[in-house]
Amino acid sequence: MRRNLTAYGDEDFSLFLRRAFIKAMGYSDDALERPIVGITNTYSGFNACHRTVPELIEAVKRGVMLAGGLPVEFPTITLHESFAHPTSMYLRNLMAIDTEEMIRAQPVDSVVLIGGCDKTVPALLMGAASANVPAVLMVTGPMLTTTHEGSASARVPTAVVSGRAIEPLKSTSAKSTKSTPSFVRPPARAWSWGRRARWRCARKRSA
């Protein structure tokens, strides 16, 4: 709790005030002596990519507490391509700055970065690198699948599995009039990249 004390001109008073406020959150003296592990909260009701963040935060908290640390979550801005005008790319650097300044300002010994997609992940990593605090990134879980003309599908990027690039499949919908990069799979089912790779190889052999 002595890290990054508020500059009142008296460190003892700053520490006293900080401990007085944080105890209102229910922490004991023993808990406040533990290393503090910050956890970024990038959840938003507009951000489907981060739908699983609240559950991931709770899981991280349990792990940190079992390891002897004190988990404390804090918010950052949230980015979603479909809900950012004109594009979320304009806000990526703002998120990096937000992440860096929140890490710098608060008494965290390390931080767990939770985020997903191609703007949030680099923003979190850039912010943590600039803040120069030990950090680990946890990528958010899969979204639910959607449908395209009656076929269950979900767009996926090119991935690397065991050092080998796995390209997205083309849509196999009989009704489709154009080639759409998608994965046709049963709805509401979380597939690992390994399962996707095996499934793709099986399709090629049966083709």
pLDDT at 23: 87
In a domain, 10, yes or no: no
Residue-range definition of the domain harbouring residue 128:
34-139
**Long-range pairs for 58-63: beta carbons < 8 A, 24 or more residues apart:** 60/112, 60/114, 60/138
For residues 159-181, give the mean pLDDT: 42
Same domain, 58 and 134: yes
Same domain, 130 and 160: no
Q: What is the mean pLDDT of residues 116-129?
A: 92
Instruction: Mark which of 139, 161, 196 sits at the end of a domain.
Output: 139
pLDDT of 156 > 50? The answer is no
- 38 Cβ contact list (under 8 Å, min separation 6): 72, 73, 74, 103, 106, 108, 110, 111, 112
Q: Is the dihedral of CA 81, 85, 90, 96 positive or negative?
A: negative
Q: Is residue 129 part of a domain?
A: yes
153 and 173 fall within a common domain: yes
Q: Are residues 48 and 124 in the same domain?
A: yes
Res 4: pLDDT: 78
Which structure tokens are listed for 83? 């809900």
Check whether residue 41 and residue 118 sit in a common domain: yes
pLDDT single digits (tens) 48-83: 888 889 999 999 999 999 999 999 999 999 988 888
